[in-house]
């Protein structure tokens, strides 16, 4: 009984994780730059600065505004 329950939980978990993000396409750097209101050059500069501070580029851009 316990093994059946554990197997069912694992199957449901695997199916749930498999479906995550399946329909979503990753943005290109140009698209991400545009969504942040930056040029591609500004985006690259912010991305490099964020990496030096161990931050995400989105966090770094928000910090600057």
Quick check: is 20 in a domain?
no
What range defines the domain where residue 37 resides? 28-65
User: How many domains does the chain divide into?
Assistant: 1
- Residue 11 is assigned to a structural domain of this protein: no
pLDDT at position 17 over 70: no
13 lies in some domain: no
- The pLDDT of residue 2: 74
Band (pLDDT 50/70/90 cuts) for residue 29 is: very high
Q: What is the mean pLDDT of residues 28-32?
A: 95
- The yes-or-no verdict on residue 42 having pLDDT over 80 is yes
Stronger pLDDT, 13 or 51, i.e. the higher one: 51
**Cα angle at 27 between 30 and 23, to 5 degrees?**
160
The pLDDT of 9-17, averaged and rounded, is: 63
Position 8 in a domain: no
Distances (CA, A) of 64 to 7, 46, 49, 50: 48, 10, 11, 11
- 22 in a structural domain: no
């Amino acid at each position: 009984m316990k093994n059946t329950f554990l197997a069912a939980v694992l199957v449901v978990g695997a199916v749930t994780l498999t479906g995550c993000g399946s329909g979503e396409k990753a943005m290109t750097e140009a698209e991400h730059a545009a969504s942040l209101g930056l040029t591609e050059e500004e985006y690259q500069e912010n991305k490099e600065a964020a990496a030096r501070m161990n931050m995400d580029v989105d966090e770094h851009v928000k910090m600057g505004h």
